[in-house]
Amino acid sequence: MAKNENKLNLEKIFEKNGINIKTLAQVLENSEINSITQISLNSLIPNRFQPRIKFDEEKLKEMAESIAKHGVITPIIVRPIQEGQYEIVTGERRTRASKLIHKETIPAIIAEFSDQQMMELSLIENIQRENLTGIEEARSYEAMKQHLGYTQAQIAKEVGKPRSHVANLLRLLTLPAAVQAAILEEKISTGHAKLLVGLDDQTAVHLTNKIIRENLSVRDVEHLLLLNQPMKNNKKKTQDSEIAQKYTQFEKILIEKLNCKQIRVDKKKIQFKFNSMEELEEFITKVKMN
């Protein structure tokens, strides 16, 4: 009976840590989990697969105040990595908050987790439970593609979100580093960022700075892009413009070289136009002489 009660208590603790019963069952098969133990905060290292990059300092202070009064209510979960050292599976915020008030130990459950389980827990379940920034979420989806081999459809199914949501966030990773940093630091919203996708890098950075400086809303940016057509030039349009300039340069070279004003250079072709047979014969004579 005591063993069953212990299992039920473990299930509740794992559930509070965002770990589903299926994963718990897998871990219990490979681990001898006896009880909650106090471990040194100095023996902990962060979860390598933690999707959250930025932690809200104010919320950490609030949690630290609560821990100072009531202690850590829900034990963190860790896995052993070497003698006397553990990697945090779940409980990064509780660990950071405990360090803020200079606690020496924290209650923990020690269990064996594989790298695959760590990635799934940190990437999938944290996305479902945590209020991540758009960039943190996008990087998590990219990690699921790279490390777990998931397609966009599989990612959407695992995290319980539309495929279009996953696809749109992954596009944020094409933005310049300065814009991604602004999203990460919550200086601009994901809604702002989606409007910047497809703009050339210089325009995207310029508009990001304008959003921050003038505190523009998403609607303001939409209106600005509609009114100011040059700002809508995306990377493809910029490339097309550069190609068009090259065609014009080629035309000038041929016109000067062949003394023929009606030459048009376009994609995959050069056009010569003549008003009469005499003009054509004259042109051919010049080509032969060159």
Q: How far is CA 62 from CA 42, 131, 159, 221, in A?
A: 22, 17, 29, 35
Q: What's the CA gap between 182 and 178, in Å, rounded?
A: 6
Given phi > 0 = left and psi -120 to 50 = alpha, else beta, which region is 149? left
SS3 track for 157-200: HHHCCCHHHHHHHHHHHHCCHHHHHHHHCCCCCHHHHHHHCCEC
Catalytic residue at 92? Answer: yes
Q: Identify the helix (H) or strand (E) that includes residue 108.
A: strand 105-110
- In sequence order, the 6+-apart residues with CB closer than 8 A to the CB of 286 are 258, 259, 260
What is the C-alpha end-to-end distance of the chain, expressed in Å?
A: 102
Say which residue the tokens 């814009």 belong to: 179
Q: Which of 36, 59, 25 is nearest to 130 (CA)?
A: 59
Structure tokens at 157: 């199914």
Choose the catalytic residue: 62, 87, 92, 186.
92
**What is the set of active-site residues?**
92
